[in-house]
Structure 1
Amino acid sequence: MNMTIDRRGASKVAVIDGEGIVIADVQDALDLMASARYNGDAHKLLIRKANITEDFFELRTKLAGDILQKFTNYEVKLAVVGDFSGYDSKSLRDFIYECNQGSRFFFLSDETEALDALHAAD
């Protein structure tokens, strides 16, 4: 896993890039948040959908809720970049829509759009 910091003024986004699954469970998410804070002084994260376990996108597992609750507790914002059109779950589509209406979590198809959303969120 590689982490780079995208800066715009005082805003810092830790951009996670790597092969395979980076977030498989709640502890992985906590470790990633800690790493971003320690190594990059960043409280905003961008990660690719491919780096998150598919269980996250099965809402009945409650993994997404558990992970996003940790991000909320530690005041870390998150953008997940990828193609979400392949999911038929209305619940997941609604979940993604609701997240994208706020300023804490984003599920977007374009990295530039995700960085813009994170840098604008304070």
Structure 2
Amino acid sequence: MSGSHGVHVCAPDGPLLRDERDVLDLIGEAWGHGATWVAVPAERLHEDFFSLRTGVAGEIAQKFVNYRIGLAIVGDISRFTDASQALRAWVLESNRGNHLWFVRDLAELAARRS
């Protein structure tokens, strides 16, 4: 599902995103809609994404950087950040940048992009 203003918004239901193929399909959809950002509901990400030692988060984030499309993880991820100081630090650092943001909702994403 596409949103407005260059954001491709993924539906909250659907298969979990976990590997390169899933991400490349999503990037292709975003390009097809002329989007410069993709908003992914947190519940669409496999739990491996939130365990930094798996490398899944880094691989997914890097794909979006390589294709010059921003990635916003939308929703409450506190159960993961409460359990991992490393993840909490990575989220804070990501939110300082321009490519990967963790936001509460689409309104926060829209505000950050304006």
| TM-score of the aligned structures, taking structure 2 as reference length | 0.91
Of 9, 12, 24, the match for 1:15:
9
Q: Does 2:110 match 1:105?
A: no
Q: Alignment partner of 1:112: what SS? A: helix
CA contact (8 A) 1:19 1:51 kept: yes
The runs of at least 4 aligned residues of structure 1 exceeding 6 Å deviation read: none
CA contact (8 A) 1:21 1:50 kept: no
Query: Identity percentage over the alignment?
Result: 37
After TM superposition, give the deviation of residue 104 of structure 1 in Å.
Answer: 1.1
Of 26, 35, 55, the match for 1:32:
26
Q: Which amino acid aligns with 1:99?
A: S
The answer to which structure has the higher strand fraction is: 1
Q: Aligned residue for 2:37?
A: 44
Q: Aligned residue for 1:6?
A: 4
| TM-score of the aligned structures, taking structure 1 as reference length | 0.85
Could you tell me which runs of 5 or more consecutive residues in structure 1 were left unpaired when the two chains were aligned.
none
Q: Alignment partner of 2:40: what SS? A: strand
Q: Which amino acid aligns with 2:8?
A: A
For the aligned residue pairs, the C-alpha RMSD in angstroms reads 1.3
After TM superposition, give the deviation of residue 47 of structure 1 in Å.
Answer: 1.1
CA contact (8 A) 1:5 1:14 kept: yes
After TM superposition, give the deviation of residue 20 of structure 1 in Å.
Answer: 3.8
Q: How many residues align?
A: 112
After TM superposition, give the deviation of residue 22 of structure 1 in Å.
Answer: 3.9
CA contact (8 A) 2:74 2:105 kept: yes
Could you tell me which runs of 5 or more consecutive residues in structure 2 were left unpaired when the two chains were aligned.
none
